[in-house]
Amino acid sequence: MDTGPVQLILYDTTLRDGAQQEGISYSLADKLRITRKLDEIGIHYIEGGWPGSNPKDTEFFAEARKLRLTHATLAAFGSTRRAGIPVNEDPQIRSLLGAETRTVTLFGKSWDLHVLRVLETTLDENLRMIAETVGYLKAQGREVIYDAEHFFDGYKANRSYALETLRAAQEAGADCIVLCDTNGGSLPEEIHRIVADVRQSITVPLGIHAHNDGELAVANSLAAVRAGVVHIQGTINGFGERCGNANLCSLIPTLQLKMGYRCITDQQLRRLASVSRYVSEIANMPPDPRLPYVGRSAFTHKGGVHVHAWQKCPESYQHIDPAWVGNLARTVVSELSGRANILEKAREFGVEINAEEVPAILQRVKELEKVGFQFDGAEASLELLLRRARPDYWPPFELIDFHVLVENRKGRGIIAEATVKVRVKGEVMHTAAEGNGPVHALDLALRKALVPFYPPLAEVHLTDYKVRILNGGAGTAAIVRVLIESARGERVWSTVGSSTNIIEASWQALADSMEYALFLQDPRELTTGG
């Protein structure tokens, strides 16, 4: 009788393995917030950390007891007892029990190299360490997930001993045995073959824990599922040590939408993209726009031929409906664009563009990108370009000239001073300001001129400033591209400038930023007469 799709068990280790990524350091509050978010999307197990290894993880389990999780089971992580120490006397095992989690994930050595040269003990003692620790934790009423660390490398080096370590865990009562590609160097065909072999002698459910050092963590995990594993370990966004872990944000939709397995509900799947962004923000890591499924660029269309076909038939250039994972389709405009890109962006921005206006706009985009502009990451500048093509466009201010001076003044050090002359609503404003750099001085001088006419600009602030050299072979005469990110409250936008003169490029991006802020405040500022 058909019982429907096979249910896979998702095990998230973002809070431990993910925290081992360079540049990530979660606070206690961060870990609790991520735990709640993972629970909301239906993750079955959340590995909270290694109690006893640091005060934060110990405190996490104490605080996590207060959480009311609806889907997830918390797991404490630790190792087998140390060599030569009775299991009930090992402080690390006591800390595991002290976490008071129903589930304990225990790792042990499968590779004889690690046993002999890292642990510096005997192969027989390692087997006792595995069996005694698993058995002791089971006797304390815990569900035990056994992570066979370095299993695939161990199998390839000494198959019989690697399998013996698994049998030691199984016979001691392990509820699930997870095969780990800890160094991340295995290939999918190896994973499939070895998992299939393991299934001949191990009867408890099997899992997979893959690292991404060969950029195959997702592929290896999928191969393991094909070979019969039912427990999948990974992290949100693939966070993890070195090159990271298997990315659950890729694994979950692939397993569910393409391979027919059941992981989480369709409603939970639609929250995947937002969870990806949420975890990135909590980790203080910029969201990767190129992540499959959940990245901002995952369903972004740039080439003119692509956009033209996508508008007629979305599936012609999209492998799934982005809404299934909570993402959106987008188009961007560049020198590769066609008429369809312009019309689609105009529709997205709410700009009325006549068909006869499109060729001129497209030509202008291509001219600007030829001299270094790029609108992919500066959509505020692109929107302004489209609005400036409208016959009713009226600039809220016009540059007459500016002057920037940088001096090393005795007793004051490096000083930047800018003067700006702009026309605002028929008046010529001539202002000056000092700043800690030329762009800062320009910004302050422009604000002095504009804020009396447009007070909301006082609330706009620059949040990021990037400079990129476009033709490094030209040395100091190279073209530079400047990207400025600005914000007012929760609204954030990006603008671009490009020139062989970094100050001119900065002015272009800065002026666009101010003009776009005025449009956000009142769209009438960009129409005839203001």
Residue 288 is assigned to a structural domain of this protein:
no
**How large is the average pLDDT for residues 409-435?**
91
**How large is the average pLDDT for residues 490-510?**
93
Instruction: Report the number of distinct structural domains present in the chain.
Output: 4
CATH number for position 404: 3.30.160
pLDDT beyond 60 at 395: yes
**How large is the average pLDDT for residues 84-109?**
96
Element (H, E) at 413: strand 413-424
Residue 526 is assigned to a structural domain of this protein:
no
Note the pLDDT of residue 208. Answer: 98
**How large is the average pLDDT for residues 196-212?**
98
Tell whether 485 and 431 lie within a shared domain: no
Tell whether 116 and 189 lie within a shared domain: yes
Burial label for 55, CB within 10 Å (0-12, 13-18, 19+), is exposed
Q: Please give the DSSP secondary-structure letter assigned to residue 66.
A: T
Q: What pairing do the DSSP bridges indicate for beta strands 176-181 and 143-149?
A: parallel
Query: Which domain, by its residues, includes 433?
Result: 397-453
Helix, strand, or coil (residue 125):
helix
Tell whether 514 and 419 lie within a shared domain: no
Helix, strand, coil percentages in the chain from 3-state DSSP, rounded to 5: 45, 20, 35
Mean pLDDT taken over the chain: 92
**What phi and psi values does residue 163 have, to the nearest 5 degrees?**
-70, -35
Tell whether 167 and 81 lie within a shared domain: yes
Residue 471 is assigned to a structural domain of this protein:
yes
Nearest-angstrom CA–CA distance, 117 and 57 = 29
Note the pLDDT of residue 339. Answer: 77
C-beta of residue 106 within 8 angstroms of C-beta of residue 147: yes
Residue 293 is assigned to a structural domain of this protein:
no
Tell whether 22 and 168 lie within a shared domain: yes
C-alpha to C-alpha distances, 389 to 32, 354, 392, 523, nearest whole angstrom: 50, 10, 9, 15
pLDDT beyond 60 at 2: no
Residue 292 is assigned to a structural domain of this protein:
no
Tell whether 194 and 312 lie within a shared domain: no
pLDDT beyond 60 at 529: no
Nearest-angstrom CA–CA distance, 360 and 253 = 42
Tell whether 378 and 416 lie within a shared domain: no
Q: What pairing do the DSSP bridges indicate for beta strands 413-424 and 427-435?
A: antiparallel
CATH number for position 192: 3.20.20.70
Neighbours of 475 (CB within 10 A): 8
Residue 401 is assigned to a structural domain of this protein:
yes
Choose one of 282, 316, 351: the last residue of a domain. 282
C-alpha to C-alpha distances, 54 to 49, 133, 198, 308, 519, nearest whole angstrom: 9, 21, 35, 55, 51
Choose one of 253, 282, 311: the last residue of a domain. 282
Residue 3 is assigned to a structural domain of this protein:
no
Tell whether 375 and 422 lie within a shared domain: no
Tell whether 351 and 258 lie within a shared domain: no
pLDDT beyond 80 at 3: no
pLDDT beyond 90 at 414: no
Burial label for 461, CB within 10 Å (0-12, 13-18, 19+), is exposed
Instruction: Tell me the H-state helices in 172-256.
Output: 188-198, 217-226, 248-253
Tell whether 360 and 252 lie within a shared domain: no
CATH number for position 490: 3.30.160.340
**How large is the average pLDDT for residues 228-253?**
98
**What phi and psi values does residue 259 have, to the nearest 5 degrees?**
-110, -5
Please state which of the ranges 115-124, 237-246, 456-465 shows the lowest mean pLDDT. Answer: 456-465
Tell whether 311 and 174 lie within a shared domain: no
DSSP output for 437-491: SHHHHHHHHHHHHHTTT-GGGGG-EEEEEEEEES-GGGGGG--EEEEEEEEETTE
Note the pLDDT of residue 521. Answer: 85
**Which residues on neighbouring strands pair with residue 393, listed in sequence order?**
527
pLDDT in tens, 311-356: 888 888 899 999 999 988 877 766 666 777 788 888 888 899 888 8
Please state which of the ranges 97-111, 182-196, 457-471, 505-519 shows the lowest mean pLDDT. Answer: 457-471
Residue 295 is assigned to a structural domain of this protein:
no
Tell whether 352 and 447 lie within a shared domain: no
Choose one of 453, 476, 495: the last residue of a domain. 453
Nearest-angstrom CA–CA distance, 413 and 181 = 56
pLDDT in tens, 165-176: 999 999 999 999
C-beta of residue 390 within 8 angstroms of C-beta of residue 351: yes
Note the pLDDT of residue 232. Answer: 98
Across the beta sheet with 398-409, what order do the strands follow? Answer: 398-409, 413-424, 427-435
pLDDT beyond 90 at 427: yes
